[in-house]
Chain A
């Protein structure tokens, strides 16, 4: 018996050892990316087309900086954020990374990003980036991100539909104007709906605009919810009147279209006459549709606060653990201020934050690109109070707003009831600090 047991143990030992050996020798060679003078790791979200542009730009940087090189990694936004979270937990963030404004609060507070303090206006120049650039990435006493690009909010219109009814987009100044135009336009030039339903989208910048116009913010400086139920109720009521008048795209149609991105968008396929969205999307939509599109600014309440204007930044950060902070800072400055690099990357992520770059790009832009840049430049001259830094529960709030919007759109809850639930859940998701 004991003989048998020994043999069995030996077998188990051999099996285990064989497994290990096979595993280790299965494929040889391990990678290393830890050497201090090796290429920087740079990460951005987007597709292969965007990545190819930025690789070209990085090649320019390498040429200008005697061989300082960088490897680019990319993935679409959700996958990118997932990978970033894992790398951050392991202390392995890329040296230079594009950062979502919705996540800067979380990463900045966790101290995993490089504080730009020692590099500002020595290696990283911010003179041309506008007044909001530093506040966009300031958390506590440190500056952890700077905007390479800005996007704005706007209303985009189907030009033939507008001409058909003699509606001028530039005349839409208030939400009442927009409602009247949407009612007028529904059904013109082959469209089915006067206005797409932005409340069904995954981010809620238009609600943020509404809230700021009412003198409130989505977030307090302490990271709690900064808006009142009354303001949000008024916002939903505005859309609901259009929904009841069958002017707004029905929720199921809208949700289906959102899944298809720009190419299947209700405006791009000619089903909606008007659409509220990020202003940088004008150029993307125009590229995928034959319908001529025009744009104007987001309407404001008649009694809106004057400094409500806001421009979500596309931020760039560095890892606090980068072994080459000086080179990382140089590369960040290159992405922020280099005109030749911007001539390659153009408006792919939005309107460049640097006014010098914008001036240089303007003559090279096509019609819709020019319309976007001209509008955002004009809007940026308006008074604009700082955009609150998104606290940790910001993406959770986006989800909660989405849930409330769906309940209302599908008629599952009354507006006051849905907003009441939203307010209670928002308080839990965003603890005031």
Chain B
């Protein structure tokens, strides 16, 4: 009797596992299908970058009839300046912006989160309010300012502000993170003789790492992809960043070189892909601990 019971139980258990496995398989199928739909535009772009220009909009389906690297070779030199120049320009601006934001936003965040000074609440509110200002609103006044000090057609308007903690989103992110750190650590450091700078440098900054990683990755991505800022400030083609250079393939009143543009677009995604790949763990940790979900 008990043997039969055990057999029935085992069979039930087996079918339960099987059923679970099937439902999990289905779940995966649905997720993969959904993922492919989301990825389709990207796949289309990658596939088109290997097609001759006249095949891009005429042949249905992703798979090119003829594979060709022509677009990559043409696109690299089509603008009269090798595309490496634009990669270097973009990389330079992005790297300096990352350093600037990490440096200035962490200092500003520490100040707001830990130090007491007059009108702190008001300044904090003003800082938060700037998150709500779209770039288009401040674009013209900023341009007037930078034009007055002769900074147009240089990288300065794009990188110098990053050293002044103007990206309020990151300041806010770090403020929230620092508020979650126990104050006892600060007090212990103070007892051991640390001043505010010592506390920041020895206690807060090491613990802030996940938030710094989020800041670094997002600053890199946003700066790398920024179009409007570089478009307005950089007028020399040799100073263009990657997105502005990609725009130089487009002629909406004439013929656009789609193939070369797609090819260079694919290449321009690679640095972002690499950054994500290496920063993934830090990023997930940072997102989980800073409350941006």
A→B interface (CB under 8 Å):
5, 7-9, 11-12, 14-15, 18-20, 22-24, 26-27, 29-34, 41, 43, 45-52, 71, 73-79, 82-83, 86-87, 89-92, 257, 260-264, 269-270, 284, 287-290, 348
CB pair B197 A83 closer than 8 Å: no
Provide the residues of chain B in CB contact with A264, threshold 8 Å.
56-57, 258
Residue of B nearest to A92 (CB): B147
Provide the residues of chain A in CB contact with B253, threshold 8 Å.
45-46, 77
Q: Is B282's CB within 8 Å of the partner chain A?
A: no
Q: Is B137's CB within 8 Å of the partner chain A?
A: no
The distance in angstroms between the C-alpha atoms of A91 and B250, with both chains bound, is: 28
The distance in angstroms between the C-alpha atoms of A52 and B249, with both chains bound, is: 12
15 A-B pairs with CB atoms under 8 Å apart are A7-B196, A8-B116, A22-B100, A23-B162, A31-B153, A45-B253, A50-B251, A71-B236, A74-B237, A76-B250, A86-B143, A260-B56, A261-B250, A263-B54, A263-B256
Report the tally of A-B residue pairs with Cβ distances under 8 A.
Answer: 174
Q: Is B269's CB within 8 Å of the partner chain A?
A: no
The distance in angstroms between the C-alpha atoms of A368 and B151, with both chains bound, is: 46
CB pair A262 B151 closer than 8 Å: no
Provide the residues of chain A in CB contact with B160, threshold 8 Å.
23-24, 26-27
- Which residues of chain B in 56-82 are interfacial with respect to chain A, using CB atoms and an 8 Å cutoff? 56-58, 78-80
CB pair A50 B256 closer than 8 Å: no
Provide the residues of chain B in CB contact with A19, threshold 8 Å.
103-104, 107, 163-165
The distance in angstroms between the C-alpha atoms of A76 and B227, with both chains bound, is: 12
- Which residues of chain B in 93-151 are interfacial with respect to chain A, using CB atoms and an 8 Å cutoff? 96, 100, 103-104, 107-108, 111, 115-117, 139-140, 143-144, 147, 149-151
Provide the residues of chain B in CB contact with A5, threshold 8 Å.
116
* From A34, A47, A86, A270, contact of B249 by CB (8 A): A47
A350 CB to nearest chain B CB (Å): 9
Q: Is B232's CB within 8 Å of the partner chain A?
A: yes
Q: Is B254's CB within 8 Å of the partner chain A?
A: yes
Residue of B nearest to A262 (CB): B255
Q: Is B235's CB within 8 Å of the partner chain A?
A: yes
Residue of B nearest to A21 (CB): B163
* From A12, A49, A89, contact of B111 by CB (8 A): A12
Provide the residues of chain B in CB contact with A261, threshold 8 Å.
250-252, 255-256, 258
* From A15, A31, A78, contact of B151 by CB (8 A): A31
The distance in angstroms between the C-alpha atoms of A7 and B196, with both chains bound, is: 7
The distance in angstroms between the C-alpha atoms of A27 and B151, with both chains bound, is: 11
B→A interface (CB under 8 Å):
53-54, 56-58, 78-80, 96, 100, 103-104, 107-108, 111, 115-117, 139-140, 143-144, 147, 149-156, 159-165, 195-197, 227-228, 231-232, 235-237, 244, 247-258
| Contact flag A90-B143 (CB < 8 Å), given A11-B196, A27-B96, A30-B151 | yes
The distance in angstroms between the C-alpha atoms of A71 and B237, with both chains bound, is: 10
A313 CB to nearest chain B CB (Å): 13
Provide the residues of chain B in CB contact with A83, threshold 8 Å.
231-232
Provide the residues of chain A in CB contact with B258, threshold 8 Å.
260-261, 263-264
CB pair A26 B164 closer than 8 Å: no
Provide the residues of chain B in CB contact with A43, threshold 8 Å.
235
Residue of B nearest to A202 (CB): B252
| Contact flag A75-B231 (CB < 8 Å), given A29-B154, A46-B254, A288-B54 | yes
Provide the residues of chain A in CB contact with B197, threshold 8 Å.
11, 14
The distance in angstroms between the C-alpha atoms of A287 and B154, with both chains bound, is: 38
* From A30, A50, A79, A90, contact of B156 by CB (8 A): A30
Provide the residues of chain A in CB contact with B250, threshold 8 Å.
47, 76, 261
Provide the residues of chain A in CB contact with B155, threshold 8 Å.
27
Provide the residues of chain A in CB contact with B156, threshold 8 Å.
27, 30
Provide the residues of chain A in CB contact with B237, threshold 8 Å.
48, 51, 73-74
A82 CB to nearest chain B CB (Å): 7
The distance in angstroms between the C-alpha atoms of A133 and B160, with both chains bound, is: 46
Residue of A nearest to B78 (CB): A48
CB pair A92 B107 closer than 8 Å: no
- Most B CB atoms within 10 A — which of A79, A269, A348? A79
CB pair B57 A90 closer than 8 Å: no
CB pair B256 A30 closer than 8 Å: no
CB pair A30 B255 closer than 8 Å: no
A3 CB to nearest chain B CB (Å): 10
The distance in angstroms between the C-alpha atoms of A24 and B163, with both chains bound, is: 9
Residue of A nearest to B116 (CB): A8
A13 CB to nearest chain B CB (Å): 11
* From A8, A30, A41, A257, contact of B235 by CB (8 A): A41
| Contact flag A23-B161 (CB < 8 Å), given A30-B149, A30-B151, A288-B53 | yes
The distance in angstroms between the C-alpha atoms of A92 and B108, with both chains bound, is: 34
| Contact flag A8-B196 (CB < 8 Å), given A27-B159, A86-B143, A89-B140 | yes
The distance in angstroms between the C-alpha atoms of A74 and B256, with both chains bound, is: 15
Residue of A nearest to B249 (CB): A47
